[in-house]
Structure 1
Amino acid sequence: MSLSLKRLASDTVIYGATTMIGRLLNWLLMPFYIRVISQDEYGAVNHIYGIITILLVVFTFGLETGFFRFARKENKDVVYKTTISMLVCTSVFLVVLSFVFSENISNYFYEGKYKASVILMGLIVAIDSLVSIPFAKLRLDNRPIFFGIVKIASISCNIVFNIVFLVFIPYLIDRFEFGTRFILLYRSFDGVFFILLSNLLSSILTLLIFLPDIIRTRGLFSARILKNMMVYSWPVLIVGITGMITQNAEKILMPKLIDENGFAELAVYGANFKIGILMSLFTQSFRFAFEPFFFNNREKGIVSYAKVMEYFVGFGLLILLGICFLMDLVNSLILTSSYHRGNMIIPYVLLGLLFYGIYFNLSLWYKLSDKTYFGAYFGIIGMVITVGLDFILIGQIGMLGGAIALLCGYAVMMIVSYLIGQRHYKVPYDLKKIALYFLVAVFLYIVNQYVSFESLAIRYSFKIILIASYILFFLFINGLKLRKTNFNAKS
């Protein structure tokens, strides 16, 4: 293997591991939150972060991708300064908007509550959108270790601040005597405020780490470069916005579409959705591991692409079955009893995220053939279907409607991408084998649903036997071929 490919593989492992560790640490905050704040507050947290994820995409304008492209063909310092200057202006604009309209937003979404949290939301988006470019510069400069250190440090600080504000300070107030002013000041804020304040403080820490580099960078603002970057980046922006709306629409709409206890319902939905995010961790790991492989073998790896898809589906279904079969364990270790009623959404979320992972694998055809505009088309289709079904289903069947809408949106994106992709970049996917994986998984899922035992030991032994049966089935079909498959990864 060439030195450049070894470097690529090493960097991919570091970036991928950092991302996975970061997402896992953030995921661990969910069991913490549902034990220290009310359901209404946790519902509001889910709602606000649904808005934050969309605003982050909007206010970065796809310029991370544009920065990568133009920093290689123009003066890197000029491109960096131009991009930072643009985002500083838009970040200041966003902060002003959040102060001016915080009361209006609070009244519309939260019945007048969480006004201070709305302002914190604007500050978080402003800072995080700004530091996205220094993070991109670290990747461009091949500094994955420092990239990982900053990411993990920021997330770790966020966790520490959460513990301090939500556990440590209340403990000190109960145990020791504090001034009345301090106690009244602390209790004038709610859990939502302290969660967002923790996030803001960790974001400020990240900005302070990058600030010397931003100040030291020489270069002048270039309107020409900015114009070219915006023209280049707008398709990326559309893909990002549609993707985030598809993933978060139900969280934003649910409190309005459910007449009573909308935020409590969203809290239950959000906590159980987080269980499904474990599938997203798998698909994200796959992306970091295999995307360089696809691009480095674009001329000779068509059959390998098909084989990798089979393994991806096989392992994804194993994760789905494992989580669904061990739901009792998940409930006892992660969720509290008031959140168990949301378990019904988990299979839909898991399957939807698996479909999205399959869609990602299929989407490589338009990246390899330089027809990335198809990504925007597919994203718009998925968004329209998901949001439309959210409006139809959530009001009728509650949180389950949101999960079904997400599943349908990703399913349509997957199917459309496959059908169009086979016309432009034909890959011989073994659909019969993939369908067989799904049939076996569905059969085992149904067996688990309808066969039950009173004895806990027998019940879990039976579940383990079902999971082992799927693994043996997978190995039986692929065992010999796994040893023979050549992924053409050698150079």
Structure 2
Amino acid sequence: MLSQIKRLGADSLLYAFMNVGTKLIAFVMLPVYTNFLSKSQYGIVDILDRWTSMLTFLVIFGTDSALSFYYYETKDESKRLSYVQNVMYFRLFVVAVLFLLVVVAGPWISEKLLQSPHYVDLLYVNLFTLLLDTIFVVATTVMRFEFQTKKVVLFTVLKMLLVAVLSYAGLKFFSQTPAGMFMGRLISSVAIFVLMLRVTWKYLKFRIEWPVLKELLAYAAPLAPTSIAFWVIANSSTFFIQHFASLADVGVFGVALRLAMMITLVTSGVQMAWRPYSMSVKDKKDSPYIFAKIYMALLLLGLVGVMAIATLSPWVMKTFFKPGYYEAYQYIAFLSCVTFLNFYYLIISVGLFFKKETGYITRIFTIAALLNIGLNFVLVPFLASWGAVIANMVTYVFAVIFIFRKSQQVYYVPVSFAKMAFLFVNMVISTSAVIYVQEKQMSVLFILLSWAYFIIMALVSRVDRDFRRQPALENS
């Protein structure tokens, strides 16, 4: 038992290192890339990246969860290999279909996606990269199943480093355009493919067994809509900005989105540890009170983090980015809030996981995706990027409220929703004030007053009582 716990702890630390390492590399390289690319050029990169992420969902089509289930369902090594090979060739088949679409209608697709028929070469480069990354993902997934954690971390971090170095080289020596950046990515994927060929070769041996494939897809298909819903929420704003504004606006908004993701440097470690931790304490007598304190502590940390990001964003943009991208600072804090809410719903939904009612989360996020599209359609034409920010904020607030409400119904945690909402609203007011002061170039004193207001409101709410509450006091 102790050895299993030690392995879980060691693996968690290694994966946390991997997540933090890859995100730090991406953060460091972002100002490097934007130094070579204009706002419109980076807009092209951002749009292609978002479409590629959607295509990745289609390629995977829920088969990651299906493979995880059936891989552990059987102890027969030959059967396990069959599952892996069938997943591999299903995904490669989907990529092949995408290649065929570009061959048949490449200029038309380029025109629709990028407002020009002359970017077909970028479509091919991205699809070649997607093909090689598909093989990489299947191989590293099996490594995770086999607890080859060090290999997974090594290859993943090495791949990210190669992407960074070769993308920089492509921009520096090949072409200071999106083509230079994407060629760097492709070459890095080729290099990793060659390095891993010995590992992946057995998975690439052609083997389609229709009963096995049907079994996998029957498990996977119901999971695909949830992935698409998350993709819609994460990416639809970009396409509305492209349609109603410009590629330059897309470039600025894309930089803000990527910087906002840096809050996951803190949340990803908690997210990885949360599910096993929550399951381990759920049957303890005082577990609802433990969860109540965690809910409030993480909320406070998240809200303070968003305000800190709002305060520091202008300095980050001035120090590391070209002047043309400076306006992105306005959006970073609220987009960071969206990223935090995307993490926080996993924390406050413990009841749904305990009671196996996770289907409710799927339904809520499907509705949220439709809400997000509607809000973007209404707001972006009039408010441009601010409309997209508001749409994303409202979408995640809606999802968190309904998921929290349902989780409380099936597993009650003694925490005040009114107090949580009060703190959140006052964070929004304070953060808005900070951004307004920065935009109007007012005295830094007003930023300090915004912080003071939030701290006073937190004290007025008597949030300290939530951390002192004990079961015995509650029952007396």
TM-score tier, shorter chain, comes to 0.7 to 0.9
2:315 — aligned with what? Answer: 329
Aligned residues: 462
> Partner residue of 2:259?
275
From 56, 77, 83, the counterpart of 1:79? 83
Q: Is the 8 A contact 1:273 1:346 kept in 2?
A: yes
Q: 1:208 to 1:308 in 2, by over 3 A?
A: farther
Pick the aligned partner of 1:195 from 181, 189, 207. 181
**Residue type matched to 1:55 in 2?**
L
Corresponding residue of 1:157: 162
Q: 1-side partners of 2:69 and 2:145: how far apart? A: 10
The match for 2:218 is 231
1:406 and 2:392 are equivalent in the alignment: yes
User: For the residues of structure 1 that align with 2:99 and 2:456, how far apart are their CA atoms?
Assistant: 52
Contact 1:318 1:467 in 2 (8 A): no
User: In the alignment, what sits opposite 1:210?
Assistant: 196
Structure 1 residue 357, shift from structure 2 partner: 1.9
Q: How far off its partner does 1:448 sit?
A: 4.2
- The Cα of 1:131 is off from its aligned counterpart by 2.4
Q: 1:308 to 1:266 in 2, by over 3 A?
A: same
Distance 1:206 1:252 in 2: 32
Q: Please, which runs of 5 or more residues in structure 1 have no aligned partner?
A: 170-185, 486-491
Once the two structures are TM-superposed, the CA of residue 265 in structure 1 deviates from its matched residue by: 0.8
The 1:161–1:229 alpha-carbon spacing in structure 2 relative to 1, beyond 3 Å, is same
Counterparts of 1:428 and 1:30 in 2: how far apart (Å)?
42
| CA–CA separation in structure 1 for the residues paired with 2:436 and 2:98 | 52
Letter of the structure 2 residue corresponding to residue 341 of structure 1: E
Match of residue 23 from structure 1: 23
Distance 2:81 2:278 in 1: 31
| 1:392 aligned onto 2:370 | no
Residue 108 of structure 2 corresponds to residue 104 of structure 1: yes
CA distance in 2, matches of 1:40, 1:446: 28
- Which of residues 329, 348, 352 in structure 2 aligns to 1:366? 352
Cα drift, residue 408 of structure 1: 1.4
Q: Structure 2 CA distance, aligned partners of 1:421 and 1:480? A: 19
Deviates more, 1:412-421 or 1:424-433: 424-433
> SS where residue 316 of structure 1 aligns?
helix
Q: 1:398 to 1:455 in 2, by over 3 A?
A: closer
Q: Which runs of 4+ in 1 moved over 6 A?
A: 471-474, 482-485
| Residue 52 (structure 1) aligns with | 52
Matched position secondary structure for 1:114: helix
Name whichever of 281-290 and 54-63 sits farther off: 281-290
CA distance in 2, matches of 1:190, 1:307: 51
> Do the aligned partners of residues 360 and 164 (structure 1) sit closer, same or farther apart at CA in structure 2, a change above 3 Å counting?
same
Q: Residues of 2 paired with 1:266 and 1:450: CA distance?
A: 22
Hey, what's the Cα distance between the residues in 2 that align with 1:126 and 1:88?
7
Q: 2:137 is matched with which residue?
A: 132
CA drift at 1:358:
1.9
Letter in 1 for 2:8: L
Q: How does 1:69-468 map to 2 (within 5 A)?
A: 69-74=69-74, 75-110=79-114, 111-167=116-172, 169=173, 186=174, 191-216=177-202, 221-258=208-245, 262-300=246-284, 301-438=287-424, 441-442=427-428, 444-445=430-431, 448=434, 459=444, 463=448, 466=451
Q: Tell me whether 64-73 or 12-21 shows the greater mean CA deviation.
A: 12-21
**Deviation for aligned residue 1:274:** 2.2
Percent identity of equivalent pairs: 17
Q: Separation in 2 of the partners of 1:471 and 1:158? A: 46
Q: Cα offset for 1:361?
A: 1.7
AA aligned to 2:95 is S
SS state at 1:206 partner: helix
Shift in Å, 1:127: 2.5
Change over 3 Å in CA distance of 1:125–1:478 after alignment to 2 = farther
The residue identity in structure 2 corresponding to 1:125 is L
CA distance in 1, matches of 2:36, 2:465: 47
TM-score w.r.t. the length of structure 2 is 0.87
CA contact (8 A) 2:99 2:127 kept: yes
Tell me if the contact between 1:16 and 1:289 (Cα under 8 Å) persists in the aligned partners: no
2:65 is matched with which residue? 65
Structure-2 change in CA distance of 1:106 and 1:480 (3 Å): closer
Are residues 283 and 235 of structure 1, via their aligned partners in 2, closer, same or farther at CA, if it must alter by over 3 Å? farther
Counterpart AA for 1:373: G
Q: Report the AA paired with residue 2 of structure 1.
A: L
Shift of 1:263: 0.3
Q: Is the 8 A contact 1:50 1:252 kept in 2?
A: no
What TM-score do the two structures reach when normalised by structure 1?
Answer: 0.85
Superposition deviation, residue 140 in structure 1: 0.6
**Structure 2 CA distance for aligned equivalents of residues 471 and 278 of structure 1:** 28
Alignment CA distance shift 1:393-1:445 (3 Å):
closer
C-alpha contact (below 8 Å) 2:36/2:176 kept by paired residues: no
SS at structure 2 position matched to 1:28: helix
SS at match of 1:113: helix
Q: Indicate how the Cα distance of structure 1 residues 437 and 5 shifts in structure 2: closer, same or farther if over 3 A, else same.
A: farther
Deviating more after overlay: 395-404 vs 215-224:
215-224
- The CA distance in 1 between the partners of 2:9 and 2:119, in whole Å, is 45
The C-alpha deviation readout for 1:21-44, integer Å capped at 9, x for no partner, is: 112212322211221111111011
RMSD (Å), alpha carbons: 3.2
Gaps of 5+ in 2: 472-476
Q: Report which stretch shifted further, 17-26 or 345-354.
A: 345-354
Q: Which residue of 1 aligns with 2:474?
A: none
